A and B are shown apart, each in its own frame.
Chain A
Amino acid sequence: EAQVTQNPRYLITVTGKKLTVTCSQNMNHEYMSWYRQDPGLGLRQIYYSMNVEVTDKGDVPEGYKVSRKEKRNFPLILESPSPNQTSLYFCASSLMTGFAYEQYFGPGTRLTVT
């Protein structure tokens, strides 16, 4: 089944404790992206990647890091989480060739930083 998976689905952590949220897709998509969703602010892009070893900042990259060492994986790293990073995080992927460019989203990771 074609899908985007994220782990963990739920995470409660404390300020300053480094964490990684994994994202993996099995559709051989070149493009991958991270979004965060906050009440009243909607979904905003954090980082994106157009292919292996090619990453760039989105609209709200502060406090986050990403890496793209393999095509299928795009982890989101919070080196020193803070309470304002409490949010619902989504990973997405799509092809970069062809016509449709439909984006597929993972199930989300709910992060709470205390």
Chain B
Amino acid sequence: KQEVTQIPAALSVPEGENLVLNCSFTDSAIYNLQWFRQDPGKGLTSLLLIQSSQREQTSGRLNASLDKSSGRSTLYIAASQPGDSATYLCAVRLFGANSKLTFGKGITLSVRP
């Protein structure tokens, strides 16, 4: 059974720092991995999607990498801003008919001004 782990559960950093959020998964036979952002009580916003054949994806100040063999992904946020404060979730999709995403519990990021 696929398990997705995100540690630590919470992180507080001063504005301007570059930071890395980690995600690990137990079954390396994934189809893709998505990083989401969730603001308190709100929906999920897709940030980046990495196919299993890819190593990284970039969007603005965000860069996500994928190492299937070690079961790890990282989300790099450059020059963090208070507006980046949110919960960041990673989710993996396995091969198969059910496109179910298995989610980590998320990392709650607070960027202090």
Interface set of A (CB-CB < 8 Å, partner B): 31, 33, 35, 40-43, 45, 48, 50, 56, 58-59, 88, 90, 92, 94, 96, 99-108, 110
Contacts and interface: CB of A to CB of B under 8 A. Distances in A.
B93 interface: yes
B43 interface: yes
Interface of B: 31-32, 34, 36, 41-46, 49, 51, 89, 91, 93, 97-101, 103-106
Nearest to A92: B101
Nearest to A40: B105
Nearest to B32: A101
Nearest to B100: A45
Contacts of A92: 101
A53 to B, nearest CB: 15
B103 A48 contact: no
Contacts of A94: 99
Given A100-B51, A102-B34, A107 B99 contact: no
A108 B43 CA distance: 5
Contacts of B51: 99-100
A48 B98 CA distance: 7
Nearest to A43: B103
B26 to A, nearest CB: 15
Contacts of B104: 42
Nearest to B48: A102
Nearest to A57: B98
B29 to A, nearest CB: 15
B98 A56 contact: yes
Given A92-B101, A105-B45, 18 more contacts: A31-B99, A33-B100, A42-B104, A43-B91, A43-B103, A45-B100, A48-B98, A50-B97, A50-B98, A56-B98, A88-B41, A90-B43, A90-B44, A101-B32, A101-B93, A101-B99, A102-B49, A103-B91
Contacts of B100: 33, 45, 48, 58-59
Contacts of B41: 88, 108, 110
